[in-house]
Structure 1
Amino acid sequence: MKSEVPSKGLEWTNLILGAGLACAAFLFAGLPAAAWNAGIVGTLIVCCSAVALYRYGAWAEWSNLTLGSWAVIAPFLLGFGSAQAAMWTHVLIGLCVATVAIIQLRNSRTASA
């Protein structure tokens, strides 16, 4: 396990994206499933990114990859896919978080090889 983050900038990006998703929960007050999902998933992304900034581990990136993927499919599985603002917020932030996690995983694999 490597203790240094491959890119602190990318890790901060995921932390900010997670905070944005968590804050977006307040905008979705009329849609309880969207609000709860945004709040919980956003907070978990923030926590994983903060821990990775403190002590990097691939598990944090795998967690963010999973959380980002969940954010992309959640609107359709939880039934708020027809609410355009909630759906697009989840999909776009989820894609960004998952992409950053993939880049971080690739960079950490390259650095350790």
Structure 2
Amino acid sequence: MENWTNAKLCDVANLILGAILFFSPWVFGFDAGRASENAHVAGIVIAILAVAALAAFAIWEEWLNLVVGLWTLVSPWLLGFEGATTAMRVHVAIGAAVAILAAIEIWIIYQNPPRLTTHS
């Protein structure tokens, strides 16, 4: 039960991080074209995956969240907005946090896989 609670806390944290990323262009004032578009899209995807994981857990959601977190982490360099320091810092910080939380959830799941029967 404790592992389930820890996984749900990670999902809630990812939901909050997705929302922060989505609103970050307005909050931090970096309407820099690609940076704000990427923040909106990645933020929505992270939030949707977190809500899906909270509603009905599936391991693929965690793997997708790991991929989206890693994308968000490296996107400033791949999309060429590393010059916009605020946008870059937000993307790197949130991307790293989402990827780490997804990796923790995957680790928790594989350490204690769900039982299919009630027998020990």
Shorter-chain TM-score above 0.5: yes
Correspondence list, 1:31-46, <5 A? 31-46=32-47
- Rounded to whole Å, the distance in 2 between the matches of 1:33 and 1:23 is 14
How far residue 6 of structure 1 moved from its aligned partner, in angstroms, is 5.4
- Counterpart of 1:76 in structure 2 is 77
Decide which structure has the larger Cα Rg and report it: 2
Where 1:56 maps in the other structure, the secondary structure is coil
Correspondence list, 1:57-72, <5 A? 57-72=58-73
- Counterpart of 1:19 in structure 2 is 19
TM-score by length of 2: 0.86
Q: What CA deviation, in whole Å up to 9, does each residue of 1:45-92 have, x standing for no partner?
A: 000000000011111111110000001111011111011100010000
- Counterpart of 1:54 in structure 2 is 55
- Rounded to whole Å, the distance in 2 between the matches of 1:48 and 1:5 is 17
- Rounded to whole Å, the distance in 1 between the matches of 2:38 and 2:85 is 15
Does the 8 Å contact 2:30/2:84 carry over to 1? no
- Counterpart of 1:28 in structure 2 is 30
The number of equivalent residue pairs is: 109
How far residue 110 of structure 1 moved from its aligned partner, in angstroms, is 1.2
> What runs of 5+ residues in structure 1 fail to find an aligned partner?
none
Deviating runs (4+, > 6 A) in structure 1?
Answer: none
- Rounded to whole Å, the distance in 1 between the matches of 2:51 and 2:25 is 20
Where 2:112 maps in the other structure, the secondary structure is helix
TM-score by length of 1: 0.91
- Rounded to whole Å, the distance in 1 between the matches of 2:97 and 2:45 is 15
Percent identity, please: 36
Does the 8 Å contact 1:5/1:55 carry over to 2? no
Q: What CA deviation, in whole Å up to 9, does each residue of 1:19-70 have, x standing for no partner?
A: 10001133322x1100000000000000000000001111111111000000
Does the 8 Å contact 1:5/1:52 carry over to 2? no
